[in-house]
Amino acid sequence: MLSGRKSVVVAIAVLLGLIVVFLANSFFSGVERQRDQQSREAQLVQVLVASQPLEFGTVLTPQNTKLTKWPAGSLPQGAFQTAIGVVNNPKGPRVALRPMVVGEPILASNISGADGRASISALLPDGMRAVAVGIDAVSGVGGMVSPGDIVDVLVTRKMAGDSAGNEDQMTDIVLEKIRVIAIDQVADNKATDPKVAKTATLEVDAVGAQKIALAQEVGTVSLALRNVTSIEDGANMTVTQQDLGSGWRSAPSRRSQSSSPGLAGLPPGFYSEAPMGAPRYAAPRPAAPAAPPRPAGLTVEIVRGTAPTTYEVKRHGS
C-alpha cells in the first residue's frame, strides 16, 4: 500500500516537472521572439509611399499617400520619412511628375516643388532644353510615337547650288537618339495608345534646340522612331533624289530630253523658222558640238591658275 502511494507521488512530481519545463520554455521562447521582432523593427524606418495609383499631375493628398515601414539599409535617395511639407504643404499642393504604382516610395525627383505646378521643366536634366516640333500623321510615324520613345530628327529641304532645279530636294539627319518628353500635352510615358498628334516635345541640348528651330524654318521636319536600346549612329549623309533609284531624273535632265511630239524623228537643224509664205523646211545644217552634260546635283568648282573646273559631288549609292 505504501509503495503504491510513493509511485503516485513520483508520477505527480514528474508531471509537474514537465509542466514547469514546458512553461519555462514557452516563456523564454516568447521573450526571444519579442527581442527579435524589436531588433527587426529597430532596422526599419518610415517612408511615404503611394497608397493609390498616381498619374502625372495628381495632387498628393492624405487619401492617396501613406507612411509605411521600409528597411533602413535600402532607403531610396530622395525618399520622404514624413508627410509634412509633402502632403500638407502650406505653400501649395505638390503633384506627381511621373506615374507611380501602389507602394512605390515618393521621391523628391518625382514630385513638383512648393508651387505645386506639374511642370515639364522639372523633368529636364541640367543643361537640357525642351523643344516642340510640329508633326502630323506622316511625320509623326502614324501616331506611334509616345512619351519616353527615342527618335531621330530629319529635315527635308530644297537642294542648294546653281545646278539644282526648283524641284530638287535633299534629306538630312539633324539629330539622333532624342528622347520624346511629351506628345501634345500628355507627358505620361504609360500612354502608349496610337494617337495622331500635332506637337512632339523633344529633349535636346542648347545646340540641338537651335538646329531644330532652324530646320523648321528651312524645310519639313519629320521623326524616325528607333529602338530604345540601339546605340549605333546613323550614316549622317545627305540623301538626294538621285538616291531613290534610276527611275528618277532631275529636272534639267528631263528638260534636255523633252521635245515636241510633232518633230520626233527629224534630224537636228532640219526644222527652221521662215517668213510667212516661204518654205519652212531648210537643208540640214551641221550640228553644233554637244556641250558637256550639266550636273544635276551639288557641284564644287576648283580653280587651277586661271582655268576653273567643275566637279559633281557624288551621292551615296550613285
Q: What percentage of the chain reaches a pLDDT higher than 70?
A: 66
pLDDT at 313: 66
Beta bridge partners of 221: 155
For cell 509616345, the residue is 146
pLDDT at 182: 84
Split at pLDDT 50, 70, 90, the class of 18 is confident
Give me the mean pLDDT over the 113-120 stretch. Answer: 66
78-100: pLDDT as tens digits: 899 888 888 877 777 888 888 89
Beta-bridged to residue 239, according to DSSP, are 171
> Which pLDDT score is estimated for 104?
92
Higher pLDDT, 243 or 42: 243
Instruction: Tally helices (H) and strands (E) across the chain.
Output: 3, 10
Name the least confident of 113-122, 253-262, 301-310: 253-262
Kindly list the domain boundaries of the chain, sorted by start residue. Answer: 36-123, 124-242
Q: Where does the pLDDT of residue 39 fall: very low under 50, low under 70, confident under 90, or very high at 90 and above?
A: low
Of 188 and 160, more confident: 160
For residues 135 and 218, the answer to whether their CB atoms sit within 8 Å is no
Alpha carbons 120 and 128: distance in angstroms, whole number: 12
- The per-residue pLDDT for 308 is 78
The pTM score is 0.49
Domain 36-123 fold is Type Iii Antifreeze Protein Isoform Hplc 12 (3.90.1210)
The pLDDT assigned to 274 comes to 44
Confidence of residue 256 (pLDDT cuts 50, 70, 90): very low
Give the pLDDT score at 75. 85
Average pLDDT, the chain: 74
Q: Which amino acid is at 171?
A: T
Separation of alpha carbons 18 and 310, rounded Å: 112
Q: How far apart are CA 195 and CA 146, in angstroms?
A: 9
Could you give the dihedral angle defined by the CA atoms of residues 178, 183, 184 and 187, in that order, rounded to the nearest 10 degrees?
A: -100
What pLDDT, on the 0 to 100 scale, is given for residue 49? 93
pLDDT at 47: 93
Q: Which three cell numbers stand for residue 241?
A: 533624289
